[in-house]
Amino acid sequence: MDRRAWLTRIGALAAAGIATRPDRLVGQEGADPLRMPGAVQQRTAVAASQNDETVKAIEHRLKCTCGCNLDIFTCRTTDFTCGTSPELHKEVVALLESGNTPDQVVAAFVAKYGEEVLMAPKAEGFNIAGYIVPGLVLTLAGAGLAAVLMRRHRVAAQAPALAASQAGGAVAIPGGASAEELARLEQALMDVDR
C-alpha cells in the first residue's frame, strides 16, 4: 500500500467515524446546559408512576382543578404549563401507595374536592337522569313515531278498500289504467327511484 492509498483509507475511516458518532453524544454522564433555559418549562425527571396504567386510569376519571376542564392525565401531559395537575398526580400516587384501591382514591378526591372533580357524574340519584334521559327520549320518540306511522298506514290502506266496497267490490283504478299497467308502473317507479 503506497502512502497516497494509506492516507485515503485513514481519511475515509475518520470521516465514517465522525458521521456515525455525533460529538454531542459522546459521554453521557451529563447533558449540556441550554443557552436560554428560561425559554422552556422546567420539569423533573419522569417517574415510573407517570407511566403506571392504574394511575393513568384513575387520572382519566378525575378533573384537574386548575380550571382547564381536562382530566388530570390529559392536563399534565398536554402543554405542561399547568402546575396543578402534577400536584394532583402526586396525590393520586400517594393515595395508591398508602394502600387505597382505585375506587377509594377517587372517593378520597370527591371527599376533598367535591363531586365536580369527577369527569363523569356517578350514575346515582338525580345523575341517573343524565344517563338515561337521552336514550329514553329517543326510544319513546321512536316508538311513538312507529305507532303514528302504522296507524296512518292502516288508515291509508283502509281507504281504497272502503271505496271498493262502496263501489261494489271493484277498486277504482285512477286514469283508467289496468291493474297490470299499474303494477308495471309501480315496479318501474321502484326500480328507477330506488
Partner 1 sequence: MTLLGNFSLWVALLLSAWAAATSFSGGWRDKPQVALAVVRSTYGVWIALIVASIALWKGLFAHDFNIEYVAAYTSRNLPDSYVFSAFWAGQKGSLLFWAAVLATFGAIAQFTASKRHKELMPYVAGVTLAVTGFFVIVMLFGGANPFDRLSFTPPDGRGLNPQLQNPGMVIHPPMLYLGYIAITIPFAFAMAALLSRKLDTGWVHAIRRWSLLAWIFLSVGITLGMWWAYVELGWGGYWAWDPVENASLLPWLTLTAFLHSVMIQEKRGMLKKWNVGLVVGTFLLSIFGTFITRSGIIASVHSFTQSNVGYFFLAFLIIVAVVAFTLLYTRWHLLEPETELESMASREAAFLFNNLALVGIAFSVLWGTLFPILSEAVRGTKITVGPPFFNRVNIPLGLLLLALTGIGPLIAWRKASPENLRRQFTFPVATGLVIALAAMGVGIRDFYVLMALGLGAFVLGTIAQEFYRGIRARNRMHGEGVISAFLALIGRNRRRYGGYIVHLGIVIYFVAFTGMAFKVTQEVTLKPGDSTEIKSPFGHTWKLTSLGVSQYEALNRVVSAATLELERDGKPMGRINSEKRQHVDSFGQKSFEPSTEVGILSDLREDLYVVYAGSIGGTEESSFAISINPLVWWVWYGGVVLVIGGIITMWPGGVSQPARKRQSAQAGYAVPMAGAAVEP
Residue-level length of the chain: 194
> Does residue 12 belong to the site contacting partner 1 (CB under 8 A)?
no
- In the chain, the amino acid numbered 40 is V
DSSP character at residue 35: S
> Does residue 20 belong to the site contacting partner 1 (CB under 8 A)?
no
Site string (130-159) toward partner 1, x via CB under 8 A: xx-xxx-xx--xx--xx--xx-xx-xx--x
Neighbouring CB atoms inside 10 A of 190's CB total 9
Interacting span for partner 1 (CB under 8 A) from 8-16, 36-44, 93-101: 36-44
Q: Which is nearer to partner 1, 37 or 99 (CB)?
A: 37
Q: Which is nearer to partner 1, 11 or 114 (CB)?
A: 114
Q: Taking the chain, what is the end-to-end CA distance rounded to the nearest angstrom?
A: 85
Q: From CA 27, how far away is CA 92, in angstroms rounded?
A: 37
- Which residues within the stretch 61-80 sit at the binding site for partner 1 (CB under 8 A)? 61, 63, 67-71, 74, 77-80
Helix (H, G, I), strand (E, B) or coil at 78: coil
Q: Smallest Cα–Cα separation from 54: which of 102, 89, 99?
A: 102
> Does residue 102 belong to the site contacting partner 1 (CB under 8 A)?
no
> Does residue 25 belong to the site contacting partner 1 (CB under 8 A)?
yes
CB of 9 to partner 1, least distance (A): 26
